[in-house]
């Protein structure tokens, strides 16, 4: 799916001098650009985590971390962001280091020519547009633009799509984590069908649904007579995926003995059928996924640490739908069009229903949203879906009495979430790893929440 940007060009100014931010903001807001600003590196990275930034004007000297370190982190968070370094203390050595780290251009302060700033940003914007257009054309030529089920408006999901573009041609093992229903298999399919293995099979394996007694046979195959009931030879799923991709969904549910066999397969890339002695080489890309916290399971002895490291070559974390509500309107429209055509209905949403869908917590994530859309379209008898067409769970929630103000509880979901994060951090004395385990979220998710909720670790640790 070609990704189109619905926003104007966005520029982030990062400088610890308020007057420079003010002057540059006035200069740039007279153009077509949307301007953001930050007075330190931490705030700049926080903005980048939650907003797609096209060009960053970044000062070399900042009060918390150096501009060069911010530049390196920017390239890790979003390599597509164009960074123009600024400094009043410029040296050839600093300029060379910045360019090596991925800076697009270097501007010296004080700025004597405002037109040069505009020209530099225009060049950066044009470079980015040409780069994106070239990538899209390459995707079309190679058949990599087939993300038909990927709908992404939020910054975090746009970033995942960019990663897919890069990972499709790289044969690395990928480990996808995220809650149930977030779309982990959709991402895995997009990676496979946009890469060089797309002409071969994509084989999904639900590791949590296969009975323990037959997992080995399902994965590796068996010979005739290998066990009671083995009337004939069977090719295992790993061999079936030869030259293609095997998707090991809920891999953390595998019994420990099967984790050992899977580890050996990942090391040797050989399949030995149950009852057989000969090993067969298999060329297969492995994408694994889990809705559990694998690091927590390793600590509890339920998931082999060496298998975790072998799978976790490239880690993709899919955030829950409640953390990317910008995606909900586009997802609703996509699902209404998709299932409306299948069910032969053109029903639309009433404003009340649309509001409830946007504000729902969605514990089942995208899968729950899709099931809700299908149910409403199936049961609606008019051209407009009304509140009474919503599933019973929505109606029962609306009838529950609200808590009284005297109970002193937060009145919004965001407030509850912030309170939970703060209490976990206080309980763990600011230890991110421990707090992430308490909250049952990934470390990167917790870092993002701390940043977006403006939580100060030092104050919590002193409490």
User: Could you say which DSSP state residue 404 is in?
Assistant: P
Q: Which two tokens stand for residue 53?
A: 């930034």
End-to-end CA, the chain: 49
Structural domain span for residue 217: 155-317
For the chain, 463 residues long, give each residue's pLDDT as a single digit of tens.
333 333 468 899 999 998 899 889 888 876 778 899 999 999 998 888 777 788 999 998 899 888 889 998 888 878 888 999 988 765 667 777 778 888 888 888 888 788 889 999 989 988 888 876 665 555 444 444 445 557 777 888 888 888 888 888 788 999 999 999 999 999 999 899 888 898 899 999 999 888 887 888 889 987 775 565 655 568 889 999 999 999 999 999 999 999 999 999 999 999 988 777 788 999 999 999 999 999 999 999 999 999 999 999 999 999 999 988 889 998 998 899 888 888 888 888 988 898 889 888 898 999 999 999 988 988 888 889 988 888 877 765 444 443 333 334 344 556 657 777 877 787 777 778 777 777 766 666 777 777 777 776 655 554 4
Contacts for 247 with CB less than 8 Å, ≥ 6 apart:
185, 188, 189, 192, 202, 203, 204, 205, 287, 288, 289
Q: How far is CA 5 from CA 75, 243, 252, 460, in A?
A: 20, 35, 37, 39
* pLDDT recorded at residue 459: 52
Among 105, 136, 167, residue at a domain's last position? 136
**Whole-structure pTM value:** 0.61
Mark whether 170 and 303 lie in a shared domain. Answer: yes
Among 279, 300, 317, residue at a domain's last position? 317
Mark whether 313 and 183 lie in a shared domain. Answer: yes
* pLDDT recorded at residue 128: 83
Backbone torsions φ then ψ of 177, nearest 5 degrees: -120, 155
Query: Residues 328, 321: contact at Cβ < 8 Å?
Result: yes
H or E element that contains 401: none
Q: What is the C-alpha separation between 184 and 354, in angstroms, rounded? A: 26
The verdict on residue 405 lying in a domain is: no
3 state DSSP class of 222: strand
Q: How far is CA 119 from CA 71, 104, 163, 296, 442, in A?
A: 21, 13, 30, 50, 42
Mark whether 173 and 292 lie in a shared domain. Answer: yes
The verdict on residue 90 lying in a domain is: yes
CATH number at residue 377: 1.10.8.60
Mark whether 203 and 282 lie in a shared domain. Answer: yes
CB atoms within 10 A of CB 440: 12
User: How would DSSP label each residue in 115-156?
Assistant: HHHHHHHHHHHHHHHHHHHHHHHHHHHHT----TT----SHH
Mark whether 170 and 288 lie in a shared domain. Answer: yes
3 state DSSP class of 295: helix
CATH number at residue 422: 1.10.10
The verdict on residue 143 lying in a domain is: no
Q: What is the C-alpha separation between 108 and 85, in angstroms, rounded? A: 8
Mark whether 281 and 169 lie in a shared domain. Answer: yes
The verdict on residue 192 lying in a domain is: yes
* pLDDT recorded at residue 406: 35
CATH number at residue 230: 3.40.50.300
The verdict on residue 387 lying in a domain is: yes
3 state DSSP class of 424: helix
The verdict on residue 203 lying in a domain is: yes
Backbone torsions φ then ψ of 73, nearest 5 degrees: -70, -35
The verdict on residue 399 lying in a domain is: no
CB atoms within 10 A of CB 5: 12
Contacts for 452 with CB less than 8 Å, ≥ 6 apart:
46, 49, 50
pLDDT digits (tens, 9 = 90+) for 416-460: 577 778 777 877 777 787 777 777 666 667 777 777 777 766 555
Place of tokens 């994106």: 132
Mark whether 372 and 451 lie in a shared domain. Answer: no
Cite the beta strand spans of 250-345 per DSSP E: 270-272, 279-281, 285-290, 314-317
Query: Residues 319, 355: contact at Cβ < 8 Å?
Result: no
**Number of domains, the chain:** 4
Query: Residues 417, 439: contact at Cβ < 8 Å?
Result: no
Mark whether 184 and 313 lie in a shared domain. Answer: yes
Q: What is the C-alpha separation between 410 and 434, in angstroms, rounded? A: 25
Query: Residues 14, 107: contact at Cβ < 8 Å?
Result: no
Mark whether 65 and 114 lie in a shared domain. Answer: yes
Q: How far is CA 452 from CA 18, 291, 455, in A?
A: 22, 23, 8
Q: What is the C-alpha separation between 379 and 369, in angstroms, rounded? A: 16
Q: Which two tokens stand for residue 282?
A: 């298999």
Query: Is the CA virtual torsion 303, 267, 164, 132 positive or negative?
Result: positive
The verdict on residue 239 lying in a domain is: yes
Among 256, 288, 317, residue at a domain's last position? 317
User: Could you say which DSSP state residue 157 is in?
Assistant: H
Query: Residues 64, 40: contact at Cβ < 8 Å?
Result: yes
Mark whether 170 and 295 lie in a shared domain. Answer: yes
Mark whether 235 and 371 lie in a shared domain. Answer: no
pLDDT digits (tens, 9 = 90+) for 328-345: 998 998 899 888 888 888
Mark whether 53 and 172 lie in a shared domain. Answer: no
């Amino acid at each position: 799916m070609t990704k189109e940007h619905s926003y104007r060009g966005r520029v982030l100014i990062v400088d610890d001098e308020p007057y420079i931010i003010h002057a540059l903001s006035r200069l740039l807001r007279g153009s077509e650009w949307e301007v953001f600003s930050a007075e330190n590196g931490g705030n700049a990275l926080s903005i980048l985590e939650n907003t797609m930034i096209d060009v960053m004007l970044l000062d070399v000297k900042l009060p918390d971390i150096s501009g060069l370190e911010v530049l390196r982190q920017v390239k890790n968070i979003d390599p597509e962001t164009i960074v123009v370094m600024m400094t009043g203390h410029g040296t050839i050595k600093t300029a060379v280091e910045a360019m090596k780290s991925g800076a697009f251009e270097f501007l010296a302060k004080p700025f004597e020519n405002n037109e040069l700033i505009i020209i530099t940003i225009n060049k950066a914007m044009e470079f980015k547009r040409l780069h994106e257009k070239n990538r899209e054309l390459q995707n079309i030529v190679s058949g990599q633009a087939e993300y038909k089920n990927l709908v992404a408006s939020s910054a975090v999901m746009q970033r995942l799509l960019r990663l897919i573009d890069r990972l499709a041609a790289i044969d690395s093992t990928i480990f996808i984590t995220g809650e149930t229903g977030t779309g982990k298999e959709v991402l895995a399919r997009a990676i496979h069908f946009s890469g060089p293995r797309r002409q071969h099979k994509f084989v999904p394996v639900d590791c949590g649904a296969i009975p323990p007694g037959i997992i080995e046979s399902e994965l590796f195959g068996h010979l005739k007579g290998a066990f009671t009931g083995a009337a004939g030879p069977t090719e295992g799923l790993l061999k079936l995926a030869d030259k293609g991709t095997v998707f090991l969904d809920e891999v953390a549910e595998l019994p420990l003995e099967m984790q050992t066999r899977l580890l050996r397969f990942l090391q040797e890339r050989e399949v030995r059928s149950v009852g057989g002695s000969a090993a067969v080489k298999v060329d297969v890309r492995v994408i694994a996924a889990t809705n559990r916290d694998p690091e927590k399971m390793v600590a509890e002895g339920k998931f082999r640490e060496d298998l975790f490291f072998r799978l976790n070559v490239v880690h993709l974390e899919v955030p829950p739908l409640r953390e990317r509500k910008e995606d909900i309107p586009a997802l609703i429209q996509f699902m209404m069009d998709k299932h409306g055509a299948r069910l032969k209905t053109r029903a639309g949403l009433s404003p009340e229903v649309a509001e409830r869908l946007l504000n729902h917590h969605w514990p089942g994530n995208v899968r729950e949203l899709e099931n809700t859309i299908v149910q409403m379209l199936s049961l609606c008898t008019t051209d407009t879906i009304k509140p009474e067409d919503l599933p019973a769970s929505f109606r029962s929630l609306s009838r529950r009495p609200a808590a009284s103000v005297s109970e002193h509880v937060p009145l919004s979901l965001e407030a509850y979430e912030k309170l939970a994060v703060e209490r976990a951090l206080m309980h763990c004395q600011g230890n991110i790893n421990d707090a992430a385990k308490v909250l049952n979220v990934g470390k990167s998710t917790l870092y993002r929440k701390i940043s977006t909720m403006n939580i100060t670790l030092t104050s919590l640790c002193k409490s």
